[in-house]
């Protein structure tokens, strides 16, 4: 009988601890980082192609300066778009080129189209 009371005390303590751990995990779940991917290479290549198509022989220095300014501001606009998308999805964005392999069951969503949607209106200031 002398061992029965300590054994019940240990068992009760373990059950209470397990119950508290389960309750804690239920109300404070573990944070699993959410990831999404963006194909930065395709966005930059598309912008470069658009600028190359606008380059013409005999351009005035002002026209050349305007193209160079657009090329410089694209990086700032892309960074702002990435920040916005990361806030929208509440996730960490990674470059698609950094992914080696993904499982189809746990696919990393591709948000390249959303970033392009945000950058496109910003990068075309001459459109009316």
CB within 8 A of 94, min separation 6: which ones? Answer: 35, 36, 37, 38, 108
- 7-32 mean pLDDT: 86
The secondary structure element, H or E, covering residue 94 is strand 92-95
Q: Is the pTM of this model over 0.85?
A: no
The percent of residues in the chain predicted with pLDDT above 90, rounded, is 36
At 21, list the tokens. Answer: 């751990």
pLDDT digits (tens, 9 = 90+) for 20-64: 988 888 888 777 678 999 999 999 999 889 888 888 888 888 988
Q: Cα separation of 49 and 56, whole Å?
A: 13
- 87-102 mean pLDDT: 89
- 114-124 mean pLDDT: 78
Confidence band, pLDDT 50/70/90 cuts, at residue 68:
confident
Supply the pLDDT for residue 53. Answer: 87
**Which CATH number among 3.20.10.10, 3.30.9.10, 3.30.565.10, 3.30.910.20 corresponds to the domain 33-122?**
3.30.910.20
The secondary structure element, H or E, covering residue 81 is helix 61-89
Confidence band, pLDDT 50/70/90 cuts, at residue 127:
very low
């Amino acid at each position: 009988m002398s061992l029965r009371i300590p054994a019940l005390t240990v068992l009760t303590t373990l059950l209470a601890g397990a119950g508290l751990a389960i309750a804690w995990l239920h109300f404070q779940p573990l944070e699993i980082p959410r990831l999404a991917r963006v194909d930065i290479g395709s966005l930059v290549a598309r912008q470069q192609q658009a600028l190359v198509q606008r380059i013409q022989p005999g351009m005035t220095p002002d026209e050349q300066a305007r193209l160079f300014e657009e090329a410089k501001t694209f990086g700032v606009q892309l960074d702002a778009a990435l920040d916005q998308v990361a806030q929208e999805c509440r996730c960490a964005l990674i470059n698609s080129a950094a992914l080696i392999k993904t499982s189809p069951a746990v696919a990393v969503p591709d948000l390249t189209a959303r970033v392009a949607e945000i950058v496109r209106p910003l990068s075309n200031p001459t459109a009316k």
